[in-house]
Amino acid sequence: MKVFATAAVLAATISQTEAHGRMVMPPHRGYIGRLPAFKDIPINYSDNGLNAGGIGGTKGGKHGVCGDPYNGARDHETGGMYGLFPKLGAKAVGACYKPGQTLDLNIQITANHKGFFEFGICKLNGKDDKETEECFQTLTQPNGEKQWPLPAGNDFFKMQYNLPKDLKCDGDSHCVLRWWYAGGNNPGVGLEGQEQFWNCADIYISDSCGSDPKPSPSSQSPTPAPSSNKPSPSSDKPTPTDKPSAKPSSKPSTKPTSAPSGNAKKQWEQCGGKGYTGATSCQDGLDCLKQDEWYSQCVPAVRFG
């Protein structure tokens, strides 16, 4: 009886101790609404727990394609509460990559249970098409491996995976990148005895991705400077107009750039929250993202090319 009671306690401990994690780059559907550019998408504040109902819910291999319970609402799948591509189109796409590109992926683990990650890609040809398990093609790392072993610790983990060279999806056609996390802290029980997670992110894959259109207007802004100098040799009258125009333009341009750069927070550092008194600006290329009432942090900004 003692042995049976001990086994029961261990089983309860295994089932109740949960891992947690989320895919933040590219931002998955339950997370993307936290980013300033995607205010039209609701936020799932429990998005680090998409384990399809836990170990009991995934026995027999049953699970929602994007981490929802098999017999529950499929909120994170296309057409669900967070899968808003059919409604928003490109406004729901969190990243844009080139065919064959090596992806820089970022996963946040908040409760580490060892195990490994895998990533898959699924192309949806129509705006209302939905991802299926059979659609996903497993991606490989630059070294050819499919599985990425999870190191110890609760942290943001970065890894690289390759996209297929012949895969393209944009416009009404888009691709779904999926993260699968299989825990490994329950020995001797196989995959079905481990907690598993799935996250889905909407992305584009196109030859036009990767070029930032923003520098072109900024590079054109200095162009008027030489043109304003041309009238100055022709007459002395334009000279006073050049001086006042130069003074206001130089002062504001210097102050805003120097002020935030001195104490701007680095990637993943805290930049806000209730009771927080430190700097609230992030370095270039980062957004201050609200995680909850008490904590905001600097995360990579989403950029489109």
pLDDT, tens only, 182-201: 999 898 888 889 999 999 99
Q: For residues 200 and 96, state if they share a domain.
A: yes
| 137 inside domain | yes
Q: For residues 268 and 228, state if they share a domain.
A: no
Whether 279 contacts 295, CB under 8 Å: no
Q: For residues 166 and 238, state if they share a domain.
A: no
Tell me what pLDDT residue 148 has. 98
Whether 156 contacts 201, CB under 8 Å: no
pTM beyond 0.75: the answer is no
Counted domains in the chain: 3
Q: For residues 62 and 106, state if they share a domain.
A: yes
In this prediction, residues 225-240 reach a mean pLDDT of 44
Average pLDDT, the chain: 80
Tell me what pLDDT residue 138 has. 98
- Burial status of residue 28 (CB atoms within 10 A of its CB: 0-12, 13-18, 19 or more): buried
* H or E segment and range at residue 5: helix 2-16
Q: For residues 31 and 68, state if they share a domain.
A: yes
Q: Which domain holds residue 238?
A: 217-255
Q: For residues 50 and 169, state if they share a domain.
A: yes
Per the DSSP assignment, residues forming a β-bridge with 124 are 174
| 6 inside domain | no
Q: For residues 35 and 107, state if they share a domain.
A: yes
Which amino acid makes up residue 151?
A: P
Q: For residues 188 and 284, state if they share a domain.
A: no
- Looking at residue 42, which CATH number applies to its domain? 2.70.50.50
Q: For residues 174 and 298, state if they share a domain.
A: no
Q: For residues 172 and 33, state if they share a domain.
A: yes
Give residue-wise pLDDT tens across range 29-50: 999 999 999 999 999 999 999 9
More confident residue, 280 or 256: 280
Could you tell me what percent of the chain has a pLDDT over 70? Answer: 73
Q: For residues 103 and 126, state if they share a domain.
A: yes
